[in-house]
Amino acid sequence: MRILGIDCGTERTGYGVIESDGKRHAAIAFGVFKTNAREPMADRLCVIARGLREVIAEYRPEAAVIEEVFVAKNTQSSLKLAQVRGVAMVMAREAMVAVHEYSPREIKMAVVGYGNAEKGQVQLMVKALLGLEATPPEDAADALAAAICRATMRLL
């Protein structure tokens, strides 16, 4: 199964596409869409939407995974993050891709085996599980971890 993981952020949205049978995973593509914090939010959302639309069209995932919103101390940050999540969901559904959501804790448990794992631990486990030569950027690693979580949860 081909799965797209998306790590939503207003300045950096990570994506990762894997191919998995539920036990073995292979990275197909990953990266980060960067936006300019000085640009209007609508323009930033368009950058993210365009990028996701291109990734979905090129790699044709069967499923997309988006991390659930956690309640941040800053309400404005939570609202902006929710807008990015909405864009990601629409881009996936527009292409008839099933959308799944997991909490940050569930994703870390699936990849690291510890729900409170640090970002660096997630990066190292993603690198190991996918047999990557280099450690992926944080946002891309989080997206790949979300995809791995879906691949393993599918079997349960």
3-state secondary structure of 3: strand
Count CB-CB contacts under 10 A for residue 106: 16
Query: d(Cα 10, Cα 45) in Å, to the nearest integer?
Result: 8
Angle between helical axes of 41-59 and 75-94 (0-180°, round to 10)? 30
**Residues 11, 21, 39, 67: which is the catalytic one?**
67
Of 68, 101, 139, 142, which is the active-site residue? 139
Considering 7, 62, 118, 133, which one is annotated as catalytic? Answer: 7
| Residue 78 vs residues 10, 23, 73, 83, 123: alpha-carbon distances, Å | 10, 34, 8, 9, 24
Active site residue 139: yes
Alpha-carbon gap, residue 32 to 35, rounded angstroms: 10
Instruction: Specify whether 142 is catalytic.
Output: no
Distance, C-alpha 1 to centroid of its chain: 16
The catalytic residues are 7, 67, 139
